Amino acid sequence: MKTISIKQSEIEKNWWIADAEGKTLGRFASKIAQILRGKHKVNFTPHMDMGDCVVVINADKVQLTGSKETDKTYFRHTGYPGGGKETSVAEMRRKHPERIVENAIKGMLPHNRLGRSILSHLRVYAGTDHPHAAQQPQTLEL
C-alpha cells in the first residue's frame, strides 16, 4: 500500500469560532491547538500547515483552576542586561486579557517555523465582537 501525501493546493481551511467563557484555560487551549494544527482531519500531515482558522471570543472570561490567578506569572526579557520582567495573571487579565489564551495555545504548538505560521491562523478577542463575520465561522462546541 502506498502512502499518500497531500499537496498544499488540496488543503481546505475552515473557520471556527470558540467561546472561552467559563472554560478551563488548559483544556480549552489544547483543543484549539489541535484544530489549528489540523490533527482533527483525516489527511493530517505533520510537516504541513493544514489546520483551520480559529476565532476565540470572550478571552477575558476564561477560568483558571486553583490559585493560578494570583501565583502564576508570565516571564519576558527586554534584551537588556537585567531586563527580565514578570507579569501576574491578574495584571495580564487587566491589561491584555487576550494574551492569556494566546500564550497558552502558543506553548502547545511546535516551537519552529511551522508553529509560527500556524499561530497566524488564531484570532483572539476579549469581548464578543469580532470582524470575521464575512468568513462565516462555524461554532465550535468544546
pLDDT tens figures, 83-101? 999 999 999 999 999 999 9
d(C-alpha 11, C-alpha 34), whole Å? 16
Q: Is 111 helix (H, G, I), strand (E, B) or coil?
A: coil
SS3 content of the chain, % helix, strand, coil (to 5): 35, 20, 45
Q: Is 136 helix (H, G, I), strand (E, B) or coil?
A: coil
d(C-alpha 130, C-alpha 135), whole Å? 11
Residues 6+ apart with CB under 8 A from 19: 56, 57, 58
Confidence class for position 114, pLDDT limits 50, 70, 90: very high
Domain 13-65+108-142 has CATH 3.40.50.2300: no
d(C-alpha 17, C-alpha 60), whole Å? 15
Q: Summarize the confidence of residues 19-28 as an average pLDDT.
A: 97
Element (H, E) at 115: helix 113-119
Confidence class for position 49, pLDDT limits 50, 70, 90: very high
Q: Summarize the confidence of residues 23-47 as an average pLDDT.
A: 96
Nearest-Å Rg of the Cα atoms of the chain is 17
pTM of the predicted model as reported, rounded to 2 decimal places: 0.93
